[in-house]
Amino acid sequence: MPSERMSDEKRSVQFSRRKFLAGSGATVAASLAGCFGGGAGSSGSDSVKIGFVLPFSGTYSFLGESIVNGVKLRLDEQLDGEIDGRSVEYVRKDTGADPATGASITQEFLQSENVDFIVGPVSSAVAGAMKPEIASSGSAIWLNANAGNYKLVQDNCTKYHFRTSFNTWQTSAPLASYINDNIADNVVLSYANYTFGQQSKNLFREEFENVGGTVVDEIGAPLGTSDYSSFLQEIENSGADAVFSFFAGSDAVNYIKQFSSFGLNGKMTQTGSGFLLSADTLQAQGTAALGMYSLLHYTPTKQTDRNQAFVDAYSGQYDTTPNVYACQGYDSALAAELAVTEAGGTETDPMVSSLAGAELDSPRGYFKFKSSTHDPVMDMDIRQVVEADGGVQNEVVETLTQVEGPTWGCDL
């Protein structure tokens, strides 16, 4: 029931906040000690410091909190707050999804807090602003837990960047052959007109045309549109048999609900990048989303032992099922764990070498950091929305194994 879930979420937020506040006293003391004691380099040789550059207020706050939950599940609950004998410290600051704030927080974390790892951000725009700082500093490893813009790797790729999330190619293009083979050979594209949406539809289009399909039309709507009626008219008028879309958050909810209410669900098959139909939007989309396909690297209902263990642990800790953001957080923690353990310390360059080409035991399935780009090579799930007790959920229809994607000229 929605209210239970609502209070679940709230409880999980309160829980993590309480835990953080308990820990923050120690953190503040530690950082102050660092200041007054003329703090040498990294925060002491026997601790690992992780800085969260994430949104904790506004539209994306739920995503930010989910990522933190994922990290803490691994490091606090499963590893008792230690990696290889070193205690783990956290600092967190709210980006509010503003790139300028993200850049300044990153500066602070690198120069003043001396973090070893930076986990975040949620928004690709913030990531773009963070990148120059992290690249020139070289004192911390960046575990990119959600920003998928492929240009982060294409333009001046930096070895300190490790993506524990995905890139926009992976969440769009691989669906092309599946659609062409199983659903329709002609599609119309609809998307939110900003970088993420544009990239997704462009990359999908390229791949779809490569495999012999036809793109009938492209319809872009301004980001934040709440009423898609006219755009849906255009989509219907295109006469295509299937739609590939990119929308996220409240846009995704509005789009899908209205798509269904106009009866388009019966006329065309709706598909899209996973964020269109993900755990955080499905509850609101409800039965309007039934039968729709999406592509994402993490599905909570995936029936593998590894995932089940993760889902059980997460639900036990936070009273709610994990989502893709939590998984990305969890994998970031796995990466930090691996880096420190293998490198025998928190020196950045040895950690970079340990992580490049390394595999993680991720709940999502296969996961490996590609040596040349530090982007993930991972399994992608094609899911379909089905009924489940009390609502709807994604069911994995097919898993594409070890999906890589282009290197865009990056060779680290």
Q: Which of residues 199-218 bind another protein (CB under 8 A)?
A: none
Instruction: Give the helix/strand (H/E) hosting 269.
Output: strand 269-273
What tokens does 75 get?
A: 């490091």
Size of the site for another protein (CB under 8 A): 74
Taking CB under 8 A as the criterion, the residue among 129, 243, 327, 339 binding another protein is 129
Q: Per CB under 8 A, does 10 bind another protein?
A: yes
Q: Per CB under 8 A, does 368 bind another protein?
A: no
Q: Per CB under 8 A, does 219 bind another protein?
A: yes
Taking CB under 8 A as the criterion, the residue among 212, 224, 316, 357 binding another protein is 224
**Residue 253 Cβ vs another protein, minimum distance, rounded to whole Å:** 4
What tokens does 2 get?
A: 């929605």
Task: Map the footprint of another protein across residues 73-92, applying CB under 8 A.
Answer: 92
Q: Pick from 90, 108, 109, 106: which is nearest to 98 by CA?
A: 106
**Please, which residue, 56 or 204, has the CB nearer to another protein?**
56
Taking CB under 8 A as the criterion, the residue among 50, 54, 83, 103 binding another protein is 103
Instruction: From 9-17, 168-176, 290-298, 363-371, give the range in contact with another protein by CB under 8 A.
Output: 9-17
- The three-state secondary structure class of 360 is coil
* Ramachandran angles phi, psi of 337, nearest 5°: -60, -50
Task: Map the footprint of another protein across residues 322-361, applying CB under 8 A.
Answer: none
- The residue assigned the tokens 């050979």 is 185
Rounded Cα distance, 152 and 131, in Å:
8
Task: Map the footprint of another protein across residues 104-123, applying CB under 8 A.
Answer: 104, 107-108, 111-112
Cα 33 → chain centroid: 34
Instruction: From 55-63, 303-311, 340-348, 354-362, give the range in contact with another protein by CB under 8 A.
Output: 55-63
**Please, which residue, 120 or 249, has the CB nearer to another protein?**
249
**Please, which residue, 285 or 354, has the CB nearer to another protein?**
285
Q: Per CB under 8 A, does 140 bind another protein?
A: no
Question: 391-403 and 86-94: which strand pairing?
Answer: unpaired
**Residue 405 Cβ vs another protein, minimum distance, rounded to whole Å:** 20
Instruction: From 74-82, 247-255, 395-403, 404-412, give the range in contact with another protein by CB under 8 A.
Output: 247-255
- The residue assigned the tokens 């959920």 is 393
**Please, which residue, 225 or 362, has the CB nearer to another protein?**
225
Taking CB under 8 A as the criterion, the residue among 237, 371, 401, 402 binding another protein is 237
- Asked if the bond preceding 2 is cis, omega within 30° of 0, the reply is no
**Residue 112 Cβ vs another protein, minimum distance, rounded to whole Å:** 4
Q: Per CB under 8 A, does 60 bind another protein?
A: yes
Cα torsion through 59, 64, 69, 74, rounded to 10: 160
**Residue 203 Cβ vs another protein, minimum distance, rounded to whole Å:** 16
CA 169, 171, 175: angle at the middle one, nearest 5? 95
Task: Map the footprint of another protein across residues 252-291, applying CB under 8 A.
Answer: 252-254, 257-258, 261-263, 280-281, 283-286
What tokens does 70 get?
A: 């994922």
DSSP string, 89-141: EEEEEE-TT-HHHHHHHHHHHHHTS--SEEE--SSHHHHHHHHHHHHHH-SSE
Q: Are 289 and 264 in contact (CB under 8 A)?
A: no
Rounded Cα distance, 255 and 154, in Å:
31
Q: Per CB under 8 A, does 58 bind another protein?
A: yes
DSSP string, 22-37: HHHHHHHHHHHHHHHT
**Residue 110 Cβ vs another protein, minimum distance, rounded to whole Å:** 11
Taking CB under 8 A as the criterion, the residue among 214, 233, 401, 402 binding another protein is 233
Taking CB under 8 A as the criterion, the residue among 154, 195, 202, 304 binding another protein is 195
**Residue 230 Cβ vs another protein, minimum distance, rounded to whole Å:** 4
Length in residues, the chain: 412
**Please, which residue, 60 or 330, has the CB nearer to another protein?**
60
Q: Quote the radius of gyration of the chain (alpha carbons, Å).
A: 21
- Distances, alpha carbon 2 to alpha carbons 118, 260, 278, 320, in Å: 34, 21, 16, 12
Q: Per CB under 8 A, does 390 bind another protein?
A: no
CB count in 10 Å sphere of residue 128: 19
Taking CB under 8 A as the criterion, the residue among 234, 241, 342, 395 binding another protein is 234
